[in-house]
A and B are shown apart, each in its own frame.
Chain A
Amino acid sequence: MRAGAPRSSCLTGWPRGILGKKGGTVRLRGVRRYHWARDVDEALSLLSAYQGKGALLAGGVDLARSPRTDIEGLIDINGLGLSYIRSENGGLRVGATTILAEILGHPVAFEYAGGVLGETLRQVAYPAIRNMATLGGAVVSAHPWADIPTLLVALGASVRWQGEKEKEERAELVDLYAGEFRKIFRKAVLLEVVLPPCDGAFAFEKIGRNAWDIALLNVCAGLGLREGRISWARVAVGARPARGERLLWLEEALIGERLEEALWRKVEEEVKARIEVEDDRRASGEWRRQVAGVLVRRALTRAAGKAGA
């Protein structure tokens, strides 16, 4: 943390001044109507009727603190039956309105991919927020400093959504984030997050200013092993300060390598040399560069340990 940097909200990342004066209403001053949508089609119709001045509400953690003043209608989507966790062929399907605490408490989800969901979600905010925040909300908000996008991108998650009546769409999250996903979700309901089967293990590493702060840098890495060599690898680094992205060059370079101390040293040095990081008011790019190398190395070695190395 640099001296003289402005204080910011731990949860929103916005400077405190933006949040404005406290009061009896949450921050959306213009809200006139509140709707409990009964199905996805009704939610879409309402969203369309508000012509950009309506917002879908699930957990509401971000929405309630949004500085937007133009939202007139809130559309509660908690009654759409999108709160579930289903195990499917070694993968998982998680409904968009499933709260983070439910995922943490779910035995199958907790064990998935070497326990990386539990490992990560325990570091996201604190219990009361995890009782409110939803997985879908984290995907759609996609804050650059957030842990969940980094996790899901590394895991190779895809998402299903509905933007028009009876027309579902699906895409890899990494592709969605590379495009105009915010434009899509202004007019669509996210239905579920699909996590593919995993025959290896993942680990998550993060550094924040304290145990529940947002990340100054986060890393999710995973690998599979065959005959003592790496058969596949995934590495995503987030809060660079840009959103979590995979290091494809590193993932390719790791395939076929033996798990040796020399490899981890080389990984650390290569990441420090090639990672794309920048300064922001929380940390310098140079600090992030040094930390990225260490965290990627730590995450990969821990993932290798979980995968049976």
Chain B
Amino acid sequence: MKIYFELNGKPQYVEVEPGESLLSLLRRLGMKSVKEGCGTGECGACTVLIEGKPVRSCITFAPKVQGKRVTTLEGLGTLDDPHPLQKAFVEAGAVQCGFCTPGMILTAYALLEQNPDPTPYEVREQLVGNLCRCTGYRKIVDAVLLAAEWKKEGKWR
């Protein structure tokens, strides 16, 4: 079956299997920032934004995004031109193996869109379903708070 959706601002008209996961579809389309961790929606490595809201792509049926707007990390920034949130993760030392980072950044991005001035508790509350086995979380929270500062200063897009 074919579905239509918008991926990182670009229209897509693609063939999918009815039982295919959105994770699988996005990786087929080259979005390698979308990781499969647990495969059961618990770890957050596969997080993407649908209509600006973080969801788990590993437990989302691909046809469910018909007509919707999907954002992956590739839609936020590139190696040459990283998004301020990506720069904040580097600046704060919030990346070690990096497997959880795309999901962390997209979840944090959705938080800062809704709440530009979060408390450390609100950051933790938002990221509670994104697991990181390396960093111990403190630097990830620091990175999001740093990004929030930059956003207030207008260093954002």
Contacts and interface: CB of A to CB of B under 8 A. Distances in A.
B53 interface: yes
A132 B17 contact: no
B interface secondary structure, majority: mixed
Given A22-B36, A129-B129, A76 B54 contact: no
A126 interface: yes
Nearest to A64: B59
Contacts of B125: 127
Interface in A117-150: 125-129, 131-132
A132 B49 CA distance: 11
B141 interface: no
Interface range for A: 35 or more
B24 interface: yes
A33 B61 CA distance: 12
Contacts of A36: 63, 66
A26 B47 contact: no
B53 A101 contact: yes
Interface residues of B, number: 33
Interface stretch (B37-45, B89-97, B149-157): B37-45
30 contacts: A12-B40, A19-B40, A24-B20, A25-B17, A25-B20, A25-B21, A26-B58, A26-B59, A26-B60, A31-B18, A34-B1, A34-B19, A34-B61, A36-B66, A60-B61, A64-B59, A65-B40, A65-B59, A74-B19, A74-B61, A74-B63, A101-B53, A127-B110, A127-B129, A128-B41, A128-B55, A128-B107, A128-B129, A132-B55, A212-B128
Interface of B: 1, 17-21, 23-24, 36, 39-42, 44, 47, 50, 53-56, 58-61, 63-64, 66, 107, 110, 125-126, 128-129
